[in-house]
């Protein structure tokens, strides 16, 4: 669907906050790269989701400190999966979407930081509101614990609306964020509320995320 722009926006946030952290001058850029967080082939097959894209997003910025300038290059990873669902009068639409975004922990001058770690789940979802066919995220519904990448993770559920095939449709939005190894990972699942059992697919997809921790 229309997730990539929102994920790039998160990448820009990451690059922006690095400005003011006192980097030393150098000829080569400081580089930080995340490992992809992708869903296993078996889980894709079981849930009926299909991989649409696995892309890296490279953001380069010149940052200044103490009158000197240093270039910083941050490589984020994003993956998108979709499933066609029957929406009755609206026909079959690829309206069930699961997205992962991995962003590296930045280490410089004795400090480690990443903006995702300080963003609430709702803050992150706001990055999607203007990108997923008129998505509006509403009230928080519930949390559930899901074991993913070796630990229990909190998966939050929200009500919302989106525009599909020109019509407003009630949707559920699920989101989880956590750190794994040296990267911060965000997972977001969105689907029409009228689709029975889709939450379990989102849970299965989150459980099926694979990511190299670097350890």
Is-contact 91 165, C-beta < 8 A?
yes
For the chain, domains (ranges, CATH) are 35-54+77-211 (2.60.120)
> How does pLDDT run along the chain (215 residues), one tens digit per residue?
444 444 444 544 444 443 433 334 456 778 889 999 999 999 999 999 999 999 998 877 665 555 656 677 789 999 999 999 999 989 999 999 999 999 998 765 445 667 788 888 888 888 767 557 789 999 999 999 999 999 999 999 999 999 988 899 999 999 999 999 999 999 999 999 999 999 999 999 999 999 998 66
pTM above 0.85, yes or no: no
């Amino acid at each position: 669907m229309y997730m990539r722009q929102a994920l790039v926006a998160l990448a820009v946030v990451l690059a922006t906050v690095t400005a003011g952290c006192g980097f030393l001058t150098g000829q080569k850029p400081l580089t930080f790269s995340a490992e992809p967080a992708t869903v296993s082939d078996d889980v894709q097959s079981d849930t009926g989701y299909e991989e649409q894209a696995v892309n890296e997003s490279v953001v380069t910025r010149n940052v200044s400190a103490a009158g000197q300038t240093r270039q910083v290059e941050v490589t984020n990873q994003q993956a998108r999966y979709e499933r066609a669902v029957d929406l009755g009068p609206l026909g079959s639409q690829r309206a069930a979407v699961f997205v992962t975004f991995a962003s590296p922990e930045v280490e410089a001058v004795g400090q480690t930081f990443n903006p995702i770690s300080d963003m609430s789940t709702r803050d992150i979802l706001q990055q999607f509101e203007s990108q997923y066919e008129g998505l509006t995220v509403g009230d928080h519904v519930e949390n559930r614990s899901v074991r993913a990448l070796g630990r229990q993770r909190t998966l939050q559920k929200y009500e919302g609306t989106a525009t599909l095939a020109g019509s407003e449709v009630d949707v559920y939005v699920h989101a989880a964020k956590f750190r794994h190894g040296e990267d911060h990972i965000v997972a977001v699942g969105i689907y029409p509320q009228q689709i029975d059992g889709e939450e379990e697919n989102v849970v299965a997809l989150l459980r099926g995320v694979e990511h190299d921790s670097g350890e």
